[in-house]
Amino acid sequence: MTTPTHPTLGQRLTGLAASVAVLGILVGLPALFLAIGASPVPDQAPTLDSIKNALLAPDDGTLVLGLFKVIGWAAWAFMALSLVVEAIARLRNIQAPQLPGLRLPQAGARNLIGLAALLFIAAPITAQAATAAPANAAAPAAVGHVHAAAVDQAPVQQDVKVEVKQERQAPKTVDHAVKPGESLWSIAEDHFGDGARYKEIAELNRDLLGAQPSFLEPGWVLKLPAPQVKDAPAHQYGVQSGDTLSEIAQEQLGDADRWPEIYQASTGLAQPGGVQLTDPDVIDVGWTLNIPGADNQQQPREVGSEDPASPEGQQPVDPPAEEKPPVVQEPDVPEVPETAAPETEAPEVAPPQAEELAAAEVDQVDDSEDSVLEAPWVLAGLTGGGVLLSGALLMALRSRRRAAFRNRPPGRAIAAPSPELAPVEMTLNATGAAAVATVEFADEALRRLAAAVGAQGTTMPPLAAVELGHGKLTLHLSAPATVPVPWVGSPDQTHWHVTTDTDVDQLGPDTGNVEPPYPLLATIGMSDTGETWLLNCEELSTLTISGDPTYGRDFARHLPPSWP
């Protein structure tokens, strides 16, 4: 629920001054030029002789004045064009196009139009905004493991309280990438529901913004106060230009991974034009989405409370793993052998409880993942060993969607896919999102390797298979070969690996659009230890598929889509 609130008197005066400046640029400057006789239209058309005489005659100041007149009118035209384009974009609530060569005039026009809007707009403010929310929101996440050490409970509770106080001192923040056309006011309006709270964003990003908080460069990453969703009820959100479900979930719910909740809650809403939300990757400007309340997120966390009679009526919640060693483990280890007579009993009490608690957390995560993979719409071929294919298809789908959104006419939606393809896209989003980073690294690593080998004037190593898993990319060669650093090889030079956290610039030069060096790589499955294997069909030449005929035909049909 939102209620309108008007800007303050100071903001109105700022908007009035900016509006006067806009009118002065658009109307005042041309009137001034005409008043001093600097008309852009000459009294008579210049001839070749008059131009020649003007250039050869002694300069009496006329040429300089004429040059100033041309520069003045050109500067006015550039600024007026930038102001008109930005004003139209604001009125239509779309992103202003980037005009070639007018980056600085457009930046100034964007800020000026944003300030002028203060004279006319009434910013919405959420009715449930709370001032003490950052301190309250941090408390549940730091109270956990109170019952994990039952031997010495009182000291543990004191340490936990200290951690709560320390965590409250640092408010949580989320990152926001600045988009073209955004200002601090518009970001605060989208994030908080109140543009007047732009000062909070400026305060958090003082080092980045410096003395010019009104100037934003597209691509900058700003820190925004994390949304306080603890007591936030369900509400509706209007889709803005450039929004995605994950970005909306991050801004409205504080967690980008909660986008499926928004998708499930909004599929039945009738959108403008009579359409409905059927694809999580396709949302249009002006659509209305249902944002669920915080109750949906807090329900699963209550399951972890195994001790309803915990001290002070607190419900223990698991804290992050790095908080456990300094708070619980270190004080308990030296105290147990000194105070307790049976040394074998004290260490055996706490660790099993901690292990059971950790196992419960893993079970909850595994159960949630299994519940998604067991859904009836999941395509089995894009799970397990097919996650790399799923990640590659998801990358291609996102690229095509971005191109379609860029090329669509203003105010029009892109063509929605047929309902028969909905299970495919849902499976790609469920299984391929986690593999996108791995696919991107593997593709970039092989392309950089090709660039490095080409720079050395040698040939590519004979690749038989690729192994991906446990933070490593391993190349299995059919014959010994040398691979440039930072690849680490085996003694026989047939196995080379590199960690996935390696900087891609170390793998080879970036020479632009390098063709994939091994275009016939195909995923063949996953090993018992969790590594995904890809086979280089080009190196092996002839393949023989044995086993169950049905599965063999399915695998044969799987190979061509894996190739580019």
Residue 360 has what pLDDT? 42
Give the chain's domains with CATH numbers.
2-124 (no CATH), 227-301 (3.10.350.10), 318-362 (no CATH), 434-562 (no CATH)
Q: Burial letters for 263-281: b for 16+ Cβ neighbours within 10 Å, e otherwise? A: bebbeeeebeeeeebebbb
Furthest C-alpha separation in the chain: 114
More confident residue, 322 or 194: 194
Measured distance CA(273)–CA(288) in Å, rounded: 12
Q: For the segment 392-411, what is each residue's pLDDT rounded down to a tens digit? A: 777 777 777 777 777 777 76
446-464: average pLDDT: 85
Residue 306 has what pLDDT? 41
377 pLDDT band (50/70/90 cuts)?
A: low
What are the two backbone dihedrals, phi and then psi, of residue 524, each rounded to the nearest 5 degrees? -110, -10
Q: Is the pLDDT of residue 4 over 80?
A: no
Chain centre to alpha carbon of residue 122: 29
Coil, strand or helix at 192? helix
Residue 41 has what pLDDT? 74
Q: Is the pLDDT of residue 26 over 50?
A: yes
Q: Are 490 and 506 in contact (CB under 8 A)?
A: no
Residue 1 has what pLDDT? 40
Q: Is the pLDDT of residue 144 over 50?
A: no
More confident residue, 296 or 445: 445
**Which range in 82-86, 351-355, 408-412 is most confidently predicted, on average pLDDT?**
82-86
Q: Is the pLDDT of residue 542 over 50?
A: yes
How many C-beta atoms surround the C-beta of residue 135 within 10 A? 14
Measured distance CA(347)–CA(337) in Å, rounded: 9
201 pLDDT band (50/70/90 cuts)?
A: confident
Q: Are 458 and 446 in contact (CB under 8 A)?
A: no
More confident residue, 247 or 181: 247
Coil, strand or helix at 346? helix
Residue 475 has what pLDDT? 92
More confident residue, 454 or 353: 454
Residue 476 has what pLDDT? 92
Exposed / middle / buried, residue 160 (Cβ in 10 Å: 0-12, 13-18, 19+): buried
Q: Is the pLDDT of residue 137 over 50?
A: no
Alpha-carbon radius of gyration of the chain: 31
How many C-beta atoms surround the C-beta of residue 195 within 10 A? 26
Q: For the segment 152-192, what is each residue's pLDDT rounded down to a tens digit? A: 333 333 333 333 333 444 566 778 888 777 788 788 877 77
Does the global pTM surpass 0.85?
no
Residue 474 has what pLDDT? 92
Exposed / middle / buried, residue 178 (Cβ in 10 Å: 0-12, 13-18, 19+): middle
Q: Is the pLDDT of residue 83 over 60?
A: yes
Measured distance CA(112)–CA(309) in Å, rounded: 59
The number of CA neighbours under 13 Å toward the Cβ of 401 is 17
Measured distance CA(25)–CA(173) in Å, rounded: 39
Residue 191 has what pLDDT? 76
Average pLDDT, the chain: 69
Residue 6 has what pLDDT? 52
22 pLDDT band (50/70/90 cuts)?
A: confident
445-460: average pLDDT: 84
